[in-house]
C-alpha cells in the first residue's frame, strides 16, 4: 500500500531555481531568516510541507516537514531521503543533541539534520550551511 512518505518529492540540490518542480501548491515565499539574499518557498504536499531554500539562483536546502505516522514509516522515509541526497556517499552522524541528529555526507559537500522530536528532515549544501552559521 502506498503511503504519502513513499511519494515525497526528491529534488536535486544545486539545480537551477527555474528547474525546481514540486508536485504541490506554493503556500508562501519569503526571505530566509539568516541569509537575506536567499528565499524560502513553502509548498503543501501530500503528508505535510516542503520548504525549499533558493540562493544565488540554485536550490541549496530542502526541509521535509512531513511527520510520519509511525517509527517504521519515519525510518523508511529517512532511508529513502538519505539514499537520494547521499548520491551514493555514506553519511556520518556528527552530533546528537537530544532533539535531533546532524550528519555530514562523506565528501563533506552536504549536510543533513533530522529532528526526531519533531520528525523533520533537512538536506542542504555545506556552502549554504556556512552562510547560515
Q: Are 90 and 82 in contact (CB under 8 A)?
A: no
Query: Does pLDDT of 5 surpass 90?
Result: no
Please provide the distance, in angstroms rounded to a whole number, between the alpha carbons at the two ends of the chain.
Answer: 41
pLDDT band at residue 1, thresholds of 50, 70 and 90? very low
Domain count, the chain: 1
Query: Does pLDDT of 2 surpass 60?
Result: no
Q: Domain residues for 77? A: 4-132
Q: What is the mean pLDDT of residues 61-74?
A: 96
CA distances, 129 to each of 21, 34, 35, 111 (Å): 23, 10, 10, 8
SS (H, E, C) the chain: CCCHHHHCCCCCCCCEHHHCCCCCEEEEEEECCCCCCEEEEEEEECCEEEEEEEECCEEEEEEEECCCCCHHHHHHHHHHHHHHHHCCCCEEEEEECCCCEEEEECCCCEEEEEECCCCEEEEEEHHHHHHHC
> Which grid cell is 19?
528547474
> Which grid cell is 22?
514540486
Check residues 2 and 77 and name the one with the higher pLDDT: 77
Give the tens place of pLDDT for each residue, 69-117. Answer: 999 999 999 999 999 999 999 999 999 999 999 999 999 999 999 999 9
Amino acid at each position: 500500500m502506498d503511503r504519502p512518505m513513499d511519494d515525497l518529492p526528491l529534488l536535486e540540490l544545486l539545480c537551477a531555481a527555474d528547474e525546481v518542480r514540486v508536485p504541490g501548491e506554493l503556500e508562501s515565499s519569503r526571505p530566509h531568516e539568516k541569509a537575506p539574499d536567499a528565499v524560502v518557498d513553502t509548498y503543501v504536499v501530500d503528508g505535510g510541507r516542503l520548504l525549499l531554500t533558493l540562493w544565488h539562483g540554485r536550490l541549496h536546502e530542502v526541509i521535509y516537514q512531513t511527520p510520519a505516522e509511525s517509527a517504521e514509516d519515519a525510518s523508511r522515509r529517512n532511508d529513502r531521503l538519505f539514499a537520494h541526497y547521499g548520491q551514493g556517499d555514506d553519511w556520518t552522524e556528527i552530533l546528537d543533541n537530544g532533539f535531533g541528529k546532524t550528519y555530514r555526507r562523506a565528501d563533506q559537500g552536504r549536510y543533513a539534520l533530522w529532528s526526531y522530536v519533531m520528525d523533520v528532515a533537512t538536506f542542504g549544501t555545506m556552502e549554504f550551511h556556512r552562510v547560515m552559521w
